[in-house]
Amino acid sequence: MNHKEMHMDHSMHDDMNMDHGMNHGDMHMDHSMHHDGMNMDHCGMSHDGMNMNHGGMHHMHHMGNLKRKFWISLILTIPIIIMSPMMGMKMPFQLTFNGSDFLVLILGTILFLYGGYPFFTSCIGEMKNKKPGMMSLITMGISVAYVYSVYAVIANDILNVKPMVNDFFWELSTLIVIMLLGHWIEMNSVMNAGSALNKLAALLPDNAHLIAEDGSVKEVNVHDLNEEDTILIKSGEKVPADGTIIDGKTALNESLITGESRDVQKSVNDNVIGGSINGSGSIKVRITGTGESGYLSKVMNMVSEAQSSKSESEDLANKVAGYLFYAALIVAVIAFVTWSLLHGVIYAIPITVSVLIIACPHALGLAIPLIISRMTSISATHGLLIRNKTSLEGINKIKYALMDKTGTLTQGDFKVNAYDSLDNNYEKQDIIKIAAAIEQSSSHPLAEGIINAFAELNSDELKANNIEEISGSGIKGTINDKEFMVVSSSYLDKNNIEYNSADTDKYLQQGNSLSYLVSDGKAIGYIAEGDSIKPGAKEMIQFLNKQHIIPVMLTGDNQQAANKIADILGIKEVNAQLVPEEKQQIVTKYQQNGKVMFIGDGVNDAPSLTKADLGIAIGSGTDVAIDSADVVLVNSDPADVINLIKLAKQSHTKMIQNLWWGAGYNIIALPLAAGVLSSIGIIIGPMLGAVIMSLSTVIVAINAMTLKIK
């Protein structure tokens, strides 16, 4: 392998996962997507109309509306419970008086129409899609309960039918309240899926300072910017578009774009990315293009597409509810027809109603939300922020763990591991001393490592003048009227400056980045810097391997540095020298062979985080990366992935158990309620059905509370 293949450019900002040499002029932002007009479309629906996986509950009930609907329904339910017996079973606390049945009817009607409205509208959607689920099951249950209860009030209080007909207002009210509570719990634990795109759009300012041909400056909307326009960007302002600096110098904060926390020095002919933040200097920038080719626009499109493609999976509880809907309907029809033929319609109706009421998913409605609530609580105490519980349900099917290197597996903090002189006229310490003086004004991560190493020497500082960046290669300056350069090995190769690679190859093979000190056309010294591995990284990789999840490194770093880190950690699959777009493509490629989790921390990781079946963001990463992820590691510790996987697997097991407790009893209860064994005196009447329903709800709650990481 030749030396060129082994070096890491001094100009590479650690593992920034994007090539800053790429022509950002070809990647400008479509300002028609600016944040004022931005509204994320999730699965083809605006946020207000977003389809909630759990049975298609429409998000027209944003958190405030759903919360208010729950509390009002609960207030209506309390007097109904006090005045109405549970399936004919009178409780000690119940109170009845002349006219109480009519009062219950009025309250029940209000509750049915007000509290049941979201279920009715969602049921219509399910029926249109020919996919009845939780909302259809709930709608069927409360509708049957309401209609039969109205009939019961008329029969008992107006027609004076004997024996009395049992009403189901108790079941109607509790089912509505429990279902609203379940969805409130679920919504409260899952964050707004659109915030990632809103964050991205908000990176761009609304207005820009356009420089006219006569030199005057006027403020215009970013929509009005065109290719070749010249704009003024003042100190502290956001860059409104991709372009090239034509006047001035500054330091740009590109952390929200690249994930790199340090400012990047920029001067004439350097490219700038829309969304980055200008530092202390004012610059004039020529816009290099408009349309949808901007860097941020590309990222936004990828995030949007990834979110849409990931949300296609149906919620498991909703599938179970769909099966139960058909089962209850079929059993009820069979029971009605059979008993009508044997004993008449009047005899068959109560049995049919009992079947449909017993199928009401009280426990099923809480089965998943209670687990989610408990999981969210546990995760918070272990440094895990779960934003999308649905993605965790497929944890047992994850086959690959794709991960970024810098900031995820490593600290992203370069430290000098070695330096030495290559010229007898300079001592070893002279090399770090001169380099530190030249790098003093630079915010490059390698520069900071050199400056920190010099500080440890407690030596007198040298004064450098005429500091100037060497585009794509390093930096130069003069000390005592003598010019020095701190450059990468690629600069030496391009300019035919001789150096003995044998002295430095061993550092490259250890995964270090090399900088050379050059004077009078000769390499006089070198400095080797390396990034340190995070303490929990190796433990995480070992755990993944034990779980038969294949770890894969994706990085913009050079192949040698990436391979070294991978060898230390035990990662066998490495993809290096990648640009952001390639990361998402690789995620898609791996998904063809199995489910993929992705761990990253920069904005350029956002598309990969959302495209993956499970996206995990490092907490110290950017806001956009965090908003794109399903889970955030608050403590930025890769070892927390271990607790996440353990918790997710335990939660999945508990969910399956709860679904059986919440719906499984119907396998026995529905046929018995239909009177299959009535010939031998075994039948589940409304009273026993109510007891079974209540018991399953209690068991579901207890099972959820026993969830823990183990």
Rounded to whole angstroms, the Cα distance separating 522 from 492 reads 9
Task: Estimate the share of the chain in helix, then strand, then coil, as percent rounded to the nearest 5.
Answer: 50, 20, 30
Is the pLDDT at 630 greater than 70? The verdict is: yes
E-strand spans in 342-422? Answer: 384-386, 398-403, 410-421
Predicted pLDDT of residue 48: 32
DSSP state of 269: T
Q: Are residues 550 and 613 in the same domain?
A: yes
CATH number for position 254: 2.70.150.10
Asked whether residue 697 is domain-assigned, the answer is: no
Q: Are residues 507 and 576 in the same domain?
A: no
Q: Are residues 426 and 461 in the same domain?
A: yes
Contact between residue 133 and residue 55 where contact means Cβ atoms under 8 Å apart: yes
Is the pLDDT at 437 greater than 90? The verdict is: yes
Structure-model confidence comparison of residues 572 and 301, the more confident one: 572
* Band (63; pLDDT cuts 50, 70, 90): very low
Rounded to whole angstroms, the Cα distance separating 271 from 550 reads 38
Rounded to whole angstroms, the Cα distance separating 27 from 553 reads 26
Give the three-state DSSP class for 426. coil
Contact between residue 433 and residue 459 where contact means Cβ atoms under 8 Å apart: yes
Residue 19 Cα distances to 158, 199, 557, angstroms: 81, 23, 10
Q: Which amino acid is at 335?
A: A
Q: Are residues 414 and 527 in the same domain?
A: yes
Q: Are residues 515 and 602 in the same domain?
A: no
Predicted pLDDT of residue 280: 75
Q: Are residues 405 and 545 in the same domain?
A: yes
Domain end: 231, 263, 291, which one? 291
Q: How many CA atoms lie within 13 A of 94 on its CB side?
A: 16
Query: Lowest mean pLDDT: which of 140-149, 191-200, 228-237?
Result: 191-200
Q: Are residues 388 and 427 in the same domain?
A: no
Residue 414 structural domain: 410-532
Q: Are residues 617 and 556 in the same domain?
A: yes
Asked whether residue 224 is domain-assigned, the answer is: yes
Is the pLDDT at 604 greater than 90? The verdict is: no
Predicted pLDDT of residue 485: 95
Residue 177 CB-density burial (10 A; 0-12 exposed, 13-18 middle, 19+ buried): buried
Average the pLDDT over 287-299 and give the result.
Answer: 63
CATH number for position 548: 3.40.50.1000
Predicted pLDDT of residue 37: 34
Asked whether residue 569 is domain-assigned, the answer is: yes
Is the pLDDT at 59 greater than 60? The verdict is: no
Q: Are residues 414 and 528 in the same domain?
A: yes
Chain-centre distance for alpha carbon 284: 37
Rounded to whole angstroms, the Cα distance separating 486 from 501 reads 17
Residue 397 Cα distances to 548, 553, 646, angstroms: 10, 20, 14
DSSP string, 522-570: EEEEEEEEEEEEPTTHHHHHHHHHHTT-EEEEE-SS-HHHHHHHHHHHT
Q: Are residues 430 and 525 in the same domain?
A: yes
**What are 551's strand-pairing partners?**
401
Contact between residue 364 and residue 686 where contact means Cβ atoms under 8 Å apart: no
Active site annotation includes 404: yes
Q: What number of other Cβ atoms are within 10 A of residue 94's Cβ?
A: 15
Predicted pLDDT of residue 301: 63
Predicted pLDDT of residue 603: 61
Asked whether residue 399 is domain-assigned, the answer is: yes
Mean pLDDT for all residues in the chain: 78
CATH number for position 498: 3.40.1110.10
Reported as a single tens digit per residue, the pLDDT across 269-286 is: 888 888 788 887 789 999
Positive or negative torsion for Cα 548, 629, 300, 305: positive
Domain end: 634, 662, 696, which one? 634
Asked whether residue 374 is domain-assigned, the answer is: no
Asked whether residue 221 is domain-assigned, the answer is: yes
Contact between residue 108 and residue 173 where contact means Cβ atoms under 8 Å apart: yes
The angle subtended at Cα 446 by Cα 440 and Cα 451, nearest 5°, is 35
> Domains in the chain: how many in total?
3
Reported as a single tens digit per residue, the pLDDT across 328-364 is: 899 999 999 999 999 898 888 888 888 887 777 667 7
Is the pLDDT at 211 greater than 90? The verdict is: yes
Q: Are residues 558 and 468 in the same domain?
A: no
Is the pLDDT at 4 greater than 50? The verdict is: no
User: Both tokens of residue 262?
Assistant: 């340090």
Asked whether residue 281 is domain-assigned, the answer is: yes
E-strand spans in 290-438? Answer: 384-386, 398-403, 410-421
Asked whether residue 150 is domain-assigned, the answer is: no
User: Both tokens of residue 429?
Assistant: 């310490």
Predicted pLDDT of residue 663: 80
Segment of 17-21, 28-32, 478-482 carrying the highest mean pLDDT? 478-482
- The residue assigned the tokens 């189901």 is 168
Predicted pLDDT of residue 625: 61
What proportion of the chain, given as a percentage, has pLDDT over 70? 77
Contact between residue 557 and residue 14 where contact means Cβ atoms under 8 Å apart: yes
Q: Rounded to a whole number, what is the distance in angstroms from the first to the last CA of the chain? A: 47
* Band (678; pLDDT cuts 50, 70, 90): confident
Contact between residue 537 and residue 512 where contact means Cβ atoms under 8 Å apart: no
DSSP state of 413: E
Is the pLDDT at 700 greater than 90? The verdict is: no
Segment of 305-314, 449-458, 508-517, 678-687 carrying the highest mean pLDDT? 449-458
Judge if pTM exceeds 0.75.
no
Q: Within the chain, what is the greatest distance between any pair of CA atoms? A: 115
Q: Are residues 500 and 419 in the same domain?
A: yes
Average the pLDDT over 231-244 and give the result.
Answer: 88
Q: Which of 404, 557, 630, 640 is catalytic?
A: 404
* Band (459; pLDDT cuts 50, 70, 90): confident
Segment of 242-246, 256-260, 528-532, 628-632 carrying the highest mean pLDDT? 242-246
Predicted pLDDT of residue 149: 87
Domain end: 634, 660, 686, which one? 634
Rounded to whole angstroms, the Cα distance separating 300 from 197 reads 6
